[in-house]
Amino acid sequence: MAFTLPDLPFDPDALAPHLSAETFQYHHGKHHNAYVTKANELTNGEYTNDDLERLILETEPGPLFNQLAQHWNHSFYWQCMKPNGGGEPTGELAEAINSAFGSFADFKEQLKNEGATHFASGWAWLVHDGSGLKVTSTHDADLPMKHGQKALLTIDVWEHAYYIDYRNARPDYLTAFIDNLINWDFVAENLRNV
């Protein structure tokens, strides 16, 4: 028994030119893999991915929490992207976004601004907070479930997520992600499960 690194849900070169195979080689193969390896070391390999959410909720902030949460965050993040993604959502998700933010354009601007202005490492999120949709961000390994929120979408704003392809131009990465990569089917499924 042990935590395992999930496969990417797409080929490493499938999101080019927006994110390169080299980015995934480092981000998935090195960074995410390191979180999995360290989580296994800290738990003596006694748990599996099925235990992950329960352990995150039970664990106080600190070294173990950081590894567990980063494993969860990255596993979720890979699902938030797909080849030929982006554009605008449809159906109930589109209605929920329009209701919460006024328009998709306003939502997009708020999400991009949240990610671009987040100081240092972290994550930009679309969440359901129990009363509706909200854009928020978390620092380092923190994640919505620790705050009673349901994650619907995330964008990794740690530098290792974009630096190979965008250098220090985080806003350009965010624009490319929103316009070309978001897997709206995954986001809609998360909303249905709120």
Q: Tell me the pLDDT tens digit for each residue of 14-38.
A: 999 999 999 999 999 999 999 999 9
Per-residue pLDDT of 133-164, as tens digits, reads: 999 999 999 999 999 999 999 999 999 999 99
Q: Where in the chain is the domain with CATH 3.55.40.20?
A: 91-192
Which two structure tokens, joined as six digits, stand for 42?
Answer: 């800290």
DSSP-H helix ranges across the chain: 21-26, 33-42, 52-58, 63-79, 91-101, 104-117, 163-166, 170-180, 184-192
The pLDDT confidence band at residue 171, using thresholds 50, 70 and 90, is very high
Only one residue has tokens 């359901």, namely: 128
Q: Where in the chain is the domain with CATH 1.10.287?
A: 21-79
Evaluate whether the domain defined by 21-79 bears CATH number 1.10.287. Answer: yes
Evaluate whether the domain defined by 91-192 bears CATH number 3.30.540.10. Answer: no
pTM here is 0.98
